[in-house]
Amino acid sequence: QSVLTQSPSASGTPGQRVTISCSGSSSNIGDNFIYWYQQVPGMAPKLLIYRDNQRPSGVPDRFSGSKSGTSASLAIGGLRSEDEADYYCAAWDNSLSGWLFGGGTKLTVL
Amino acid sequence: QITLKESGPTLVKPTQTLMLTCTFSGFSLSTPGVGVGWIRQPPGKALEWLALIYWDDVRRYRQSLKSRLTITKDTSRNQVVLTLTNMDPVDTATYSCAHLNSFTHYDAIGRIDSYYFDQWGQGTLVTVSS
């Protein structure tokens, strides 16, 4: 089944470490790279992680990505109030010959 | 610096055809290894990829919308146009274009060029209503 599944919400307090997960299948995450985007409400998505675990220049090293099999995770360390946003995973799907986005995880900083 | 900006109607009637233009700067669609894609986001919902076009004019469409979508590029004007026919209220969304970057890697098959969205436009809200 060609979907990327994310938990709808996550939360943490300032300074904490939180992890957001993304579950897929062999036709997407299992065979292609995973990408993570941060979207502050009303703003354009911003690339956080590419090629599973690479950070574009300017993205703090508090953000890290990992992948195992058909699942991937985004970890945010030293949580800050400005990290409150929606986070999306994305991957190419071989069966669909197209891009899949996860349903998004809304991160709340308590 | 790469920038992209979407333009088009903010309101369309059901059954009409939507035409959106993405005007970009900071790159050329004639350069190998780049592309432009369209993604939409209904209010309060998730991102949904629609279509993309690569530098070599290869195009890909969301399967569920393939019969309604067309993407074209005008390299000389630095523009990519998306058309979506037979609009319905469920197509109400913010439509965004994004730059596709690429990197090369190798596996058992050989050389692979992998693309990803790295820069997005601000998006334009399109409402479908009579």
Structure tokens at B49: 């990829």
CB-CB neighbors (< 8 A) of A103 in chain B: 46
Residue B63: its chain A contacts at CB < 8 A? 96-98
* Helices and strands in chain B, H and E counts: 0, 11
Q: What is the pLDDT of residue B108?
A: 86
Report how far residue B94's alpha carbon sits from residue B100's, in angstroms, rounded to the nearest whole number. 19
Across the interface, which of A44, A47, A88 has its CB nearest the CB of B46? A88
Write down the pLDDT at residue A1. Answer: 58
The pair of three-digit structure tokens given for residue B90, joined into one six-digit string: 């469920």
Q: Residue A2 pLDDT more than 80?
A: no
CB of B84 closer than 8 Å to CB of B17: yes
Render pLDDT for B41-75 as a digit per residue (tens, 0 to 9).
999 999 999 999 999 999 999 999 999 999 999 99
pLDDT bin (cut points 50, 70, 90) of residue B105 is confident
Give the closest-approach CA distance of B115 to chain A in angstroms.
Answer: 9
Q: Measured between beta carbons, which residues in chain B are less than 8 angstroms from residue A22?
A: none
Three-state DSSP at A25 gives: coil
**Whether residue A103 has pLDDT greater than 80:** yes
* pLDDT, tens digit, 9 for 90 and up, residues A82-96: 999 999 999 999 999
Note the pLDDT of residue B111: 87
Percent of chain A with pLDDT over 90: 96
B47, B60, B114 ranked by CB distance to A45: nearest: B47
How far apart CA A92 and CA A31 sit, in angstroms, is 9
Taking the CA of residue B125 and the nearest CA in chain A, the distance in Å comes to 11
